Structure 1
Amino acid sequence: MPTRSREFTWSDPSLTANAVPHHTGLDFLREMLAGHLPPPPITATLGFTLEEAEYGRAVFALIPGEEHYNPIGSVHGGVYATLLDSAAGCAVQSVLPQGMGYTSLDLTLKFLRPVTVNTGKVRATGTVLNSGRRTALAQAELRDSEDRLLAHATSSCMLFPVAGG
């Protein structure tokens, strides 16, 4: 059987994690976009990138490859979920003041179309629907280059103070 391989590298995740308390959520994301903070290792593992961050909105992109496939020859649902969770979560992060963090409480996902290597670049756009003192609600859409909706998700996030903030 012919085999394929893929190599990737990542930076120490503590460098980024230790920076969280010292920035607003949006400034933190902008520091990653500018290359001043390394991206989290999951982005290297799956090969996706943060492309945009503004108040209440975050966008991640991925060019699907065979390494993302499930046994039936399309991108695994876990890859969709990771992109959508990242977009929704970082949208929430973008509205947080300095000293606050978040974690996902749930993720509800609807798969609408299959994604393959022929789909080309896909983008997950997360937006905040509501942000309170203890929780936030966000949604995310996964779309292809022709703006077709591939999947949709909603996520509730718990907000909490982070040490050092």
Structure 2
Amino acid sequence: MGRSRTYEWEDPSITAAVVGRVSGLEFLREIQAGRLPGPPVSATLDFTLDEVDEGRVMFAVMPGEEHYNPLGSVHGGVYATLLDSAAGCAVHSTLPPGMGYTSLDLTVKFLKRITADTGRVRAVGTVVSRGRQTALAEARLLDAGDRLLAHATSSCLLFPLPAA
């Protein structure tokens, strides 16, 4: 018998309407606190934003077979999504109101296999360097014993957002 999973998400335009009106740190803290809806991708993959500080964020997920590739382990795209979210949001947490960012690249190194037996994993993103137009961030995917499962770096382009 087939397995199924049902999930819900909120209207992403609610959150998108707030981008740039407050600082990145305030924006992410509003999502973390549940006062703004999280992005639909977090519902799709069932990950949460657990910590937010300036220049540092942490997402977490409990891997399940719904994340598996045909080889019976978590798909690399799930690793990459968590690492991209952590690196990008770390940069976002440093932005003042009126500024936005976009990822220019993401380089991922897969170090260890993840399965449902791995238990909860955390993606910790930190800003390495931030200038006026670009930022460099890294993210580390860790298990409960702080073993490094994957590592990523991301360059981000910073830009002023159009006035609302």
How would you bin the TM-score normalised by the shorter chain?
over 0.9
1:100-120 superposed Cα distances (whole Å, 9 cap, x missing partner):
111110000000000000000
Pairwise mapping of residues 76-115 of structure 1 onto structure 2 (< 5 A)? 76-115=75-114
Secondary structure of the structure 1 residue equivalent to 2:4? coil
Q: Distance in 1 between matches of 2:11 and 2:37?
A: 8
Q: Distance in 2 between matches of 1:113 and 1:13?
A: 33
Q: Distance in 1 between matches of 2:127 and 2:51?
A: 14
Instruction: Report the number of matched residues.
Output: 164
Secondary structure of the structure 1 residue equivalent to 2:154? strand
Deviant stretches of 4+, over 3 Å? none
Q: Distance in 2 between matches of 1:66 and 1:83?
A: 16
1:56 is aligned to 55
Q: Distance in 2 between matches of 1:109 and 1:34?
A: 29
1:96-141 superposed Cα distances (whole Å, 9 cap, x missing partner):
0111111110000000000000000000000000111111000000
Cα displacement (A) at 1:163? 2.4
Q: Distance in 2 between matches of 1:108 and 1:68?
A: 21
State the TM-score, normalizing by the size of structure 2. 0.98
Pairwise mapping of residues 141-156 of structure 1 onto structure 2 (< 5 A)? 141-156=140-155
1:69 is aligned to 68
2:133 is aligned to 134
2:7 is aligned to 8
State the TM-score, normalizing by the size of structure 1. 0.98
Q: Distance in 2 between matches of 1:18 and 1:161?
A: 15
CA-based RMSD: 0.8
Secondary structure of the structure 1 residue equivalent to 2:140? strand
The amino acid that maps onto 1:122 is: V
1:22-75 superposed Cα distances (whole Å, 9 cap, x missing partner):
110000001111111000000000100100000000100000010000000000
Cα displacement (A) at 1:164? 2.9
Q: Which runs of 5+ in 2 are unaligned?
A: none
Secondary structure of the structure 1 residue equivalent to 2:113? coil
Q: Which runs of 5+ in 1 are unaligned?
A: none
1:159 is aligned to 158
Secondary structure of the structure 1 residue equivalent to 2:85? helix
Q: Distance in 1 between matches of 2:38 and 2:161?
A: 19
The amino acid that maps onto 1:5 is: S
Q: Distance in 2 between matches of 1:164 and 1:63?
A: 39
